[in-house]
Amino acid sequence: MISVVVPSYNEEENISDCRRELEKALAGEDYEIIFVDDGSKDKTWRRIAEESGERVRGVRFSRNFGKEAAIRAGLDEAKGDAAIVIDCDLQHPPAVIPKMLEKWRNGALCVEGKKSYRGRESKSHGFSAWVFNRLMSGSIGFDMSGASDFILLDRKPLEALLRYNESGSFFRALAQYVGFEHESVYYEVAAREKGKGKFTFGVLVSYALKNIASFSSLPLLTGVFSGAAAVIAALALLILKLFGINLGSFSGGVIALIFIGGLTLISLGIVGYYLGRIYEEVKNRPKYIVEERI
C-alpha cells in the first residue's frame, strides 16, 4: 500500500481538488490519503470530513504546529510500504506520482521531487527561497537547491527517519541525511490557484535559522573568526605604520574595539540562540497534539 501525506493549513478551497487529483494519479493502486489539518482556522477540517472514507483519513491538530509537525504526524500515521508527502495546494503536481512509483518499484528507496521550474512566483518569494536553500545547503552539507517536501520514502528510510526524535526536525534534509538509494524526478511548480501561500520572507528566515541550528554548530565559530579578523586588521595597521603611513594615534584601537565589541555581541546572540534550541530539545515536548481523527 502507498500512503499519501498531505499537510493542510487553511486549505478549505483545495481539499476536494487535491483528493480528486490524487485519486486520478493513484488509479489502480492500493493507497490511503492522510490529510493532516494543522490547526486551520477555516473550514479545512469540515472539508476533510466530507472527503473522508475508506481510503481517505484525517488527523486534526489542536492548534497550528507548523508544516514540519504536520508532515511528521502524517508519517507517524502512514501504514503503507511507501509514503509520499505532497502539498495540498497542487503546486506539487500529483501527475508526477506514477513516475515516482515507477522509480520506487525499480529499486529506489527515496524518490525526491525536484523543482525544474519554480512556477509563477513573486520576485521576493523567489529570492527568499533562493537565500533559504543556499543557507540550508551550506550548513547541512547536501545540495538542497531544487529540493522540496515532495518526496517518496520507502518503509526502510521512513522507519529510519521516524527514529529522529528531535523537536526541530527538518523533513527534506532528514530524508537526505538518513542515506539509502536516492533518485529524483523533476517537476514544474504549478501556480497556486486557490488560497494563500504561508511562507513569507520573515517566516522563511526564522525557519532557516532554526534548521541551520538543528543541523550545524558552525555559527558558534564566528567568534573565533572575528578574533582572527581583528588580529589581521591589527597586523595590517602595524605594516602601514612600518611604511610610514599613520592613520592617527587612536584610529586602530578604536576600530578594533568596535569590531571586536560588535562581533562579541553577535556571537553571544548566537550562543543564546543555540541555548534556546537546546532548551527546546531538552524539554522534549510532543511535536503535535491530535484533537481528533476521522
Task: Using CB under 6 A, list all residues that contact ligand UDP.
Answer: 7-9, 11, 38, 64, 66-67, 70, 87-89, 91, 192, 197-199
Our CB check for Mg ion shows the closer of 99 and 192 to be 192
Please tell me the distance from the alpha carbon of residue 173 to that of residue 5, in angstroms, as a whole number.
17
With a CB cutoff of 8 Å and minimum separation 6, the contacts of 177 are 140, 142, 164
- The minimum distance between CB 39 and ligand UDP, in angstroms, equals 8
Measured distance CA(181)–CA(118) in Å, rounded: 26
Nearer to Mg ion, 156 or 192 (CB): 192
CB of 166 to ligand UDP, least distance (A): 19
The nearest distance, CB 266 to ligand UDP, in angstroms, is 29
64 binds, among Mg ion, ligand UDP, none (CB under 5 to 8 A by kind): ligand UDP
Closer of 38 and 89 to Mg ion (Cβ): 89
C-alpha cell read off for 161: 527517519
Q: Which residue has the cell 504536520?
A: 70
User: Which residues of this chain interact with Mg ion, rule CB under 5 A?
Assistant: 89, 91, 192
d(CA 139, CA 207): 13
Cβ at position 58, least distance to ligand UDP in Å:
13
Closest by CA position to 87, among listed 159, 193, 201: 193
135 contacts 208 by C-beta, under 8 angstroms: yes
Of the pair 8, 267, the CB lying nearest ligand UDP is at 8
Alpha helices, DSSP H, located in 114-250: 123-140, 155-162, 171-177, 201-215, 222-242
Q: Residue 4 Cβ, how far from ligand UDP at the closest point, in Å?
A: 12
* Identity of the residue, 88 or 96, whose beta carbon is nearer to ligand UDP in the bound complex: 88
